[in-house]
Every structure is written in structure tokens, then in C-alpha cells.
Amino acid sequence: MTNLNRPKKNPDMVRHRLLQSTASLMTTHGFAGVSIDKVATEAGVTKGALFHHFPNKKALIEAVFDRELAMLDKLLDDLLAKDTVDYGRFTRAYIHATFFACIDDRLSSALTFSLCARPELVERWDVWMAGRMVKHQKTDNSLQLEVVRMAADGIWFTHLLHGGKLTAKKDLHALKQQLLEMTHAT
């Protein structure tokens, strides 16, 4: 093969494929289904290419977590920008994002499995949530809104535990509407 025929290296694309493959394996097989060999094979790269980007499985899982959290952040910011009512704005965005995750398991599964797989990521999640709460303390600092967010978390996690088979979409919609109603000042 001449240099002209050799595919150009694209480290960003390789990294993206590795993260996608890891998230996909976590979603379909859980944390136990993620191995260096399986990730490299699914991404279509060598183990050497994987190790060029991530020194070990722990770093790979952390990178998936960071990517999923960044996606959640963007989704929340987009939802916040569309909400014109101050009280409960972050909580409503969080509910929408949580229920979106129940419908689109690509977001929820990888994020949740990475939290379960690496307990230290729970601390990073807590720091992220604390930062969000500081940012939104003027609009979302009531006990009722905290209860609503925790209920949304519980629905998300329960939905995930049961492989998305726990509740029909119409039931999820009713639960979501009930939680959203609880975010308005009484």
C-alpha cells in the first residue's frame, strides 16, 4: 500500500468510536460486558489504538461518563433556555432530560452504568449536581423541588433496571406530567 492509499489517521474519530463502542456495550451488556478486546473490536481498531487514547478500562469508563455528562449538560441548557418561568426551571429541565433518557436509553444506560461501575464517579456526579444547584438556587431551592428531582431519578433508575419494560410510554408520559405539575409554585 502506498502512502496515497493509506487511510489518514483521525485521532478524534478513533476516540469518538471508542467512546461510542464502550457506551453501546454498557447499554446492551452492562459493565461486565465491557472489555478492552470487545471495545476495540466493536470500534474497529487495534488494542494499541485504544491504549493510545485510554491507558486502561477505568480511564475509558471515566471518559464515557464525562461525555455523557456533557451531553446531559447541553440538553439541560437547551431546555432551560426554552423555559420562561423562573420557579422550578432547572427541575423541569431535569425532568424532561430524565424522561428523555427513559425513551432514549443511549443516554441513560451509559451514564448510569458508569456511575454503578466506578463508585468514585458518584462523587463527581454529586459535585456536578451541587454545582447545578448553586447555579439554580434562586429558582430551585425548595424541598418540594428536591423531592420531584429525586422522584425523577427513581423513575429513571427503575426504568433502567427493568430494561425499559417497566412502564409503557403512556405511563411514562403521565408520570412526567405529574412531576412537571409539582414544579409550579403553590
pLDDT of residue 27: 78
- The predicted pLDDT at position 88 comes to 98
Q: DSSP states of 34-86 as a string?
A: --HHHHHHHHT--HHHHHHH-SSHHHHHHHHHHHHHHHHHHHHHHHHHH----
Q: Which residues contact 147 (CB under 8 A, 6 or more apart)?
A: 182
Query: How far is it, in rounded angstroms, from Cα 155 to Cα 138?
Result: 26
Tally the residues of the chain.
186
Kindly give, in sequence order, each residue whose CB lies less than 8 Å from that of residue 111, ignoring residues fewer than 6 positions away. Answer: 65, 68, 69, 72, 101
How far apart (Å, rounded) are the C-alpha atoms in residues 97 and 38?
A: 30
10 vs 180: CA distance, rounded Å: 44
Question: What pLDDT tens digit does each residue of the chain (186 aa) get?
Answer: 444 443 457 889 999 999 999 988 887 887 778 899 999 999 999 999 999 999 999 999 899 989 989 989 999 999 999 999 999 999 999 999 998 877 765 555 666 766 766 788 889 999 999 999 999 999 999 999 999 999 999 988 887 777 666 566 668 889 999 999 999 976
Residue with cell 453501546: 24
Do the Cβ atoms of 148 and 183 come closer than 8 Å?
yes
d(CA 81, CA 101): 19
Q: What fold characterizes domain 11-181?
A: Tetracycline Repressor; domain 2 (1.10.357)
In the chain, the DSSP E strands lie at none
Instruction: Give backbone dihedrals phi and psi of 36, rounded to 5 degrees, phi first.
Output: -55, -45
pLDDT at 8: 55
Extents of the domains making up the chain: 11-181
Provide the pLDDT for residue 7: 45
Three cell numbers written together for 134: 448553586
